[in-house]
Amino acid sequence: MSRPYQVFAFYKFTPVENAQDEVAAHKEILSSLDARGRIYISEEGYNGQMSIHEDQAETYLAFLRSRPGLQEMPVKIHTWETHVFEKMTVKYRAQIVALDAKVDMSKTGAHLSPEEWSAMLAKKEERILIDVRNDYEWKVGHFEGSELPNCSTFREFKEYTEELKDRIDPEKTPVMMCCTGGIRCEIYSAYMKERGFQNVYQLDGGIINYGLKEGSKHWLGKLFVFDDRMTVPISDEEAPVISSCAHCGTACDDYYNCAN
């Protein structure tokens, strides 16, 4: 089956001098393109997920690269048969990800490439592996050995951090963390370091980038995504189904949006 649409995921923490002007500039170019998705812009940077027809993808990528601070911003790209969003939305936000805490983004956790992440998982040494996503995302797919924090929103990870300090030695125990595309880990790793955790590592580019580079190695289930697809494999490699239907208990790795 043909896959004429490209699905972009990108973020960048970089100072934006006139965020409202950037919102207007993005709206202007996207109004002329076959694109749908969500882009949030603030004084602290950009966060976007969108689908765009392959014939126009390079036009928008060139526009992104023309913006101050975005020349080398990584853009993770998958292909799909159709649009994966209903409409195009570009908005200003005070925070591109809401932790409701100010952190020093110059002191984030060390980035591990997908290859380094896979190698660290294979060593089975003492560490803790945190999935910095919501609980319902973890249930449909996660890395082997990852911990499910009792958090339904990103804001709740602040309480989880204090609980974790009582369970492990924050100065010695390595902390590995992952999320869908990497943006939550940027913020949360900096937050943890400010609170005394010394050995903090984050998966560069998130689970999406890992699947593109390492396939399904060490991964179980599917990846939850915030678009019309709901769940997708992280690679072309088969991964075991780890979740079940909430009604009948049959093995299942699909979510359905009951609002539709």
The token pair that represents 243 in the structure block? 């979740």
Active-site annotation holder among 151, 178, 179, 185: 179
Q: What are the residues whose beta carbons fall under 8 Å from the beta carbon of 247, sequence distance 6 or more?
A: none
Locate 232 and state its tokens. Answer: 């997708």
- In terms of DSSP H, where are the helices of 13-67? 19-30, 54-66
User: Residue 227 in 3-state DSSP?
Assistant: coil
What does the block give as tokens for 199? Answer: 């050995």
Taking the C-alpha atoms of residue 139 and residue 201, their distance in angstroms, rounded to an integer, is 22
**Structure token pair of residue 45:** 């940077």
Q: How far is residue 209's CA from residue 119's CA, in Å, rounded to a whole number?
A: 15
| Whether 179 is catalytic | yes
d(Cα 190, Cα 158) in Å, to the nearest integer? 12
Torsion of CA 193, 186, 150, 194, to 10 degrees: 20
Helices (runs of H) and strands (runs of E) counted in the chain: 7, 13
CB-CB neighbours of 44 under 10 Å: 20
115 closest CA partner among 204, 235, 236, 188: 204
Q: Which residues are catalytic?
A: 179
